[in-house]
């Protein structure tokens, strides 16, 4: 894939500031973009001349930076072709993705499974499974049991929903991908929260759509800005319920006011995880045309890979036509187990928020102790803190952190154009003692950074 000089310039952000020679700052920043996955392996970089023009710097600076990257194994060159991104051969695989069991993984925001509850749900599902044996088992809309259970989940939240408004998917990410493939044409604009869930950004850019970011600030969403941006967009993707990564929840007033000129996908993956206060009202109560996506990945377990789309039947028909290009349905046993879980209201158990609340508070306490300069507001729900450093160190910290036994997701992965270099996302899905140890290790990594250390790790996957 060719990357334009302007796209690289946007990703580089403010690389020009700093004491070291410009070519070194540029090669360091490009290397971090490779390690962080924002410049993907095999991507073809712009020519030296084009990048120099886009950056307003000399061709010698870009040429020297490219040569440094070639020497260190991060770029491959061939005569008369663009330089392509690669990784050094001598990077031992265990340094690329941390598989060390002693490493604390803060890059994935997802809880462990509630073991006994899952056991019981699968036991019940196994008993029901023979009912499905007479049919072929391919069902692109999902089983009647789960479509009914999801429709009930919406009814309980005050949104009248019939099973024929529901399509079952392999998790919410699959739902977003299916919607993007069906609804977007190249160069369409997609309004997104900024920051937002990284895999959604990737889904939209891979559909060759153009993200149109609207800031989610410390106090949340600005409905006037959203409405103005929606007039220029073909699609909107919003996470109003305990937003990933900030944990913010759109106010009831904003929900009532919000009217978007384009079709909106409302991601409700975190809805059941209200930690302080009530669960929010579904946005679709006020925006009847909105498409909602959800899953049990955060309220029960990501390994179930079960999610859904709530939409008008005519849109579900279009999705049904598009779906076979990538998959032919969701496994029946997982659907039956998920239906049991929803019918028993296991996603709404009170012990889940209780535990998350205590882990959230422990994580914030550890930050105060070990990283007192970091600002991490208390989120109303969800599973992550959005922490801000004083300096733009996020990518460098993510690259060095595995050397200190912890992996994190760097802030710029949650945005576009190199934004959020002062932020990191910290999930509180691990036990409090591990969270405290992880923060202590992060503090060591930050200290090493200030003393000039650099890291070579490729990013851990985020979720
Ligand atoms: C906001 C948001 N949407 C969707 C997903 C994907 O969820 P699933 O595991 O159901 O595919 C995630 C996972 O982290 C998420 O945070």
The model's confidence at residue 454, banded by pLDDT at 50, 70 and 90, is low
- Residue-wise pLDDT tens digits, 375-431: 999 999 999 999 999 999 999 999 899 999 999 999 999 999 888 999 999 999 999
CA 250 to CA 223: how far, in whole Å?
10
Question: What pLDDT shows up at residue 93?
Answer: 39
Examine the pLDDT at 9 and tell me if it is beyond 70.
yes
Question: What pLDDT shows up at residue 101?
Answer: 67
For the domain covering 5-85, report its CATH number: 1.10.10.10
Q: Which atom of ligand 1 is nearest to the CA of 239?
A: 1
Residue 247 beta carbon below 6 angstroms from any ligand 1 atom:
no
Q: Does domain 95-109+350-450 have CATH number 3.90.1150.10?
A: yes
Question: What pLDDT shows up at residue 28?
Answer: 83
What average pLDDT score do residues 149-171 get?
Answer: 98
CA 137 to CA 148: how far, in whole Å?
18
- Residue with the two structure tokens 């509850």: 117
For helices 5-12 and 22-35, give the axis angle rounded to 10 degrees.
Answer: 90
Residue 463 beta carbon below 6 angstroms from any ligand 1 atom:
yes
Residue 384 beta carbon below 6 angstroms from any ligand 1 atom:
no
Q: Give the residue extent of every domain in the chain.
A: 5-85, 95-109+350-450, 115-348
CA 14 to CA 28: how far, in whole Å?
12
107 neighbors 409 (Cβ within 8 angstroms):
yes
What would the two tokens of residue 276 be?
């302080």
Q: Which atom of ligand 1 is nearest to the CA of 197?
A: 1
If you measure from the C-alpha of residue 57 to the centroid of ligand 1, how many angstroms do you get, rounded to a whole number? 40
267 neighbors 252 (Cβ within 8 angstroms):
no
- Residue-wise pLDDT tens digits, 304-363: 999 999 999 999 999 999 999 999 999 999 999 999 999 999 999 999 999 999 999 999
What average pLDDT score do residues 224-250 get?
Answer: 97
Q: Does domain 115-348 have CATH number 3.40.640.10?
A: yes
Question: What pLDDT shows up at residue 456?
Answer: 60
Buried b (16+ CB within 10 A) or exposed e, 111-133: beebeebbebbbebbeebeeebe
SS3 of residue 215 by DSSP? strand
Mean pLDDT over each residue of the chain, to the nearest integer = 92
Question: What pLDDT shows up at residue 458?
Answer: 60
Question: What pLDDT shows up at residue 21?
Answer: 87
Instruction: For ligand 1, pick from 167, 269, 283, 308 the residue to mutate: most ligand atoms within 8 Å of CB.
Output: 269
444 neighbors 141 (Cβ within 8 angstroms):
no
Angle at CA of residue 289, ends 286 and 291, nearest 5°: 100
Residue 173 beta carbon below 6 angstroms from any ligand 1 atom:
yes
The model's confidence at residue 94, banded by pLDDT at 50, 70 and 90, is very low
- Residue with the two structure tokens 């079960």: 306
Examine the pLDDT at 161 and tell me if it is beyond 50.
yes
CA 29 to CA 396: how far, in whole Å?
9
Half-sphere exposure of 94 (CA within 13 A, CB side): 7
Mention every residue, 6+ apart, whose C-beta is less than 8 A from residue 69.
27, 30, 31, 34, 75, 83
What would the two tokens of residue 150 be?
């999801």
Higher local confidence (pLDDT), 435 or 392: 435
pTM: 0.85
CA 64 to CA 30: how far, in whole Å?
12
Instruction: For ligand 1, pick from 107, 199, 240, 272 the residue to mutate: most ligand atoms within 8 Å of CB.
Output: 199
- Residue-wise pLDDT tens digits, 252-311: 999 999 999 999 999 999 999 999 989 999 999 999 999 999 999 999 999 999 999 999
Question: What pLDDT shows up at residue 455?
Answer: 64
Residue 240 beta carbon below 6 angstroms from any ligand 1 atom:
no
Question: What pLDDT shows up at residue 422?
Answer: 94
What would the two tokens of residue 223 be?
């409905």
Strand pairing of 235-238 and 189-194? parallel
Residue 235: closest CA among 306, 167, 311: 311
Query: What is the enclosing helix (H) or strand (E) of 285?
Result: none
Q: Which atom of ligand 1 is nearest to the CA of 307?
A: 10
The model's confidence at residue 11, banded by pLDDT at 50, 70 and 90, is confident
The model's confidence at residue 87, banded by pLDDT at 50, 70 and 90, is confident
CA 179 to CA 315: how far, in whole Å?
9
413 neighbors 198 (Cβ within 8 angstroms):
yes
Examine the pLDDT at 239 and tell me if it is beyond 50.
yes
Instruction: For ligand 1, pick from 105, 113, 173 the residue to mutate: most ligand atoms within 8 Å of CB.
Output: 173
SS3 of residue 299 by DSSP? coil
What would the two tokens of residue 282 be?
């579904």
Mention every residue, 6+ apart, whose C-beta is less than 8 A from residue 298.
109, 110, 111, 269, 270, 272, 273, 382, 383
Question: What pLDDT shows up at residue 97?
Answer: 44
What average pLDDT score do residues 220-246 get?
Answer: 97
- Residue with the two structure tokens 């509630």: 114
- Residue 293 bridge partners (DSSP): 267, 309
CA 317 to CA 275: how far, in whole Å?
36
Q: Where are the alpha helices (DSSP H) in 72-160?
A: 93-96, 115-128, 144-156
């Amino acid at each position: 894939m060719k990357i334009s000089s302007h796209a690289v310039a946007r990703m580089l952000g403010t690389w020009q500031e700093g004491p070291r020679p410009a070519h070194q700052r540029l090669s360091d920043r490009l290397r971090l973009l490779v390690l962080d996955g924002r410049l993907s392996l095999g991507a073809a970089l712009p020519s030296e001349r084009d990048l120099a023009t886009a950056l307003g710097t000399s061709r010698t600076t870009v040429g020297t930076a490219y040569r440094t990257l070639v020497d260190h194994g991060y770029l491959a060159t061939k005569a008369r072709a663009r330089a392509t991104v690669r990784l050094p051969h001598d990077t031992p695989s265990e340094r690329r993705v941390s598989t060390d069991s002693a490493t604390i993984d803060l890059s994935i925001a997802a809880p462990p499974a509630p073991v006994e509850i899952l056991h019981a749900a699968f036991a019940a599902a196994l008993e029901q499974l023979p009912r499905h044996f007479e049919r072929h088992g391919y069902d692109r809309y999902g089983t009647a049991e789960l479509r009914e259970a999801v429709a009930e989940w919406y009814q309980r939240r005050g949104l009248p929903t019939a099973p024929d408004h529901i399509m079952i998917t392999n998790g919410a990410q699959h739902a977003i991908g299916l919607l993007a493939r069906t609804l977007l044409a190249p160069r369409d604009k997609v309004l997104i929260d900024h920051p937002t869930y990284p895999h959604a950004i990737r889904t939209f850019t891979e559909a060759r759509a153009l993200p149109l970011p609207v800031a989610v600030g410390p106090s949340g969403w600005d409905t006037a800005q959203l409405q103005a941006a929606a007039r220029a967009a073909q699609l909107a993707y919003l996470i109003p319920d305990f937003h990933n990564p900030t944990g913010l929840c759109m106010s009831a007033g904003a929900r009532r006011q919000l009217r978007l000129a384009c079709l909106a996908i409302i991601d409700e993956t975190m809805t059941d995880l209200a930690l302080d206060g009530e669960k929010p009202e579904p946005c679709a109560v006020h925006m009847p045309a909105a498409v909602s996506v959800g899953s049990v990945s955060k309220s029960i377990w990501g390994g179930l890979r079960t999610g859904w789309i709530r939409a008008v039947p005519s849109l579900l028909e279009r999705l049904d036509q598009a779906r076979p290009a990538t998959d032919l349905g969701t496994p029946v046993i997982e659907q039956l187990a998920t239906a049991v879980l929803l019918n028993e209201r296991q996603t709404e158990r009170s012990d889940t928020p209780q535990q998350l609340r205590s882990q959230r508070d422990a994580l914030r306490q550890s930050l105060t102790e070990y990283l007192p300069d970091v600002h991490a507001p208390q989120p109303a729900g969800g599973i992550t803190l959005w922490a801000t450093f004083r300096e733009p160190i996020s990518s460098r910290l993510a690259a060095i952190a595995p050397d200190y036994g912890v992996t994190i997701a760097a802030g710029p992965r949650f945005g576009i154009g190199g934004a959020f270099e002062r932020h990191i996302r910290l999930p509180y899905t691990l036990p409090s003692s591990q969270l405290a140890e992880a923060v202590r290790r992060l503090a060591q990594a930050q200290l090493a950074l200030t003393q000039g250390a650099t890291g070579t790790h490729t990013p851990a996957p985020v979720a």
